Structures are given as structure tokens and as C-alpha cells.
């Protein structure tokens, strides 16, 4: 089961891979694909990563332990490239998100995303038909 979103020349895809989910971006103009998730993650985490990219054009960063995170300031989510950022930053980890209710406030959870989650969730995939 997979889901795709298209924005301009980019296709963002979330799909099941082995025991988890992976989110990728393909840029048609440059003919390049890159992975947004740091490997296989829970479905909600993969969808949060996709929504972060779609809404804010940001990719998560990876800490020393390989965990994906994004910085959060008073102005919203940011990537942090300085040891001491110019403004206070809270670090939000994306790899342990298991439900849509656990999404951080800066990522929108709408009815479309709820439908995607319901359709892709493994417990429900066998009882629903493909669209």
C-alpha cells in the first residue's frame, strides 16, 4: 500500500517497506530521488515526515543516534545548523510518533491525512479494498 502527493515537479511517496514505512521525494526535473525517513519507521512517523516536507518544505535532521528531529522556534519548524542557534530551539523527534494524535502542532492533521492513515494502517489494510 502506498500514497503519493505531487507538488510541482516533485512526487512525495510513502510506502510500506519490510516492517515499517519509508517516505521519499522524487524530483522529475533533476531525475533524483531521496529518502525523507532515516529508514523504516512507524506509519504515523512516515506520514509526519511527508507532511513536514509538504507543509514547510523542510526535511528532518538526524542526531548522533540516528533519530530524526526538527527544530521548533516561536516562528515554527526550522533546521538547525549551528551548535548555539540564534534563537531558542526545542527539538521535536519524529521517529516515535505512532498515532495522528501524537503529531506536533505545526503539522496539520486533516480528514485527507486521516483517510490515508486508515487506508495504510496494517491492521485495517486486509479488510479494505484498494481504491
pLDDT of residue 96: 86
Cα dist from 119 to 14, 34, 54, 91, whole Å: 12, 24, 20, 30
List the grid coordinates of 51: 507532511
pTM for this one? Answer: 0.87
pLDDT tens for 5-48 read 999 999 999 999 998 999 999 999 999 999 999 989 999 999 99
Q: Select from 122, 119, 121 the least CA-distant residue to 131.
A: 119
Chain centroid offset of residue 98 CA: 12
pLDDT tens for 102-130 read 999 999 999 999 999 999 997 644 444 44
End-to-end CA distance of the chain: 10
pLDDT of residue 123: 65
Amino acid at each position: 500500500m502506498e500514497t503519493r502527493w505531487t507538488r510541482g515537479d516533485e512526487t512525495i511517496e510513502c510506502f510500506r517497506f519490510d516492517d515499517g514505512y519509508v517516505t521519499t521525494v522524487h524530483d522529475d526535473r533533476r531525475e533524483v530521488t531521496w529518502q525523507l525517513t532515516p529508514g523504516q519507521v512507524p506509519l504515523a512517523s512516515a506520514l509526519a515526515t511527508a507532511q513536514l516536507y509538504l507543509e514547510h518544505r523542510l526535511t528532518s535532521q538526524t542526531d548522533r543516534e540516528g533519530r530524526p528531529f526538527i527544530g521548533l522556534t516561536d516562528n515554527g519548524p526550522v533546521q538547525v545548523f549551528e551548535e548555539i542557534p540564534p534563537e531558542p530551539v526545542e527539538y521535536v523527534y519524529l521517529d516515535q510518533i505512532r498515532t495522528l494524535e501524537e503529531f506536533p502542532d505545526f503539522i496539520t492533521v486533516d480528514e485527507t491525512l486521516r483517510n490515508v492513515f486508515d487506508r495504510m494502517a496494517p491492521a485495517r489494510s486486509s479488510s479494505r479494498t484498494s481504491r
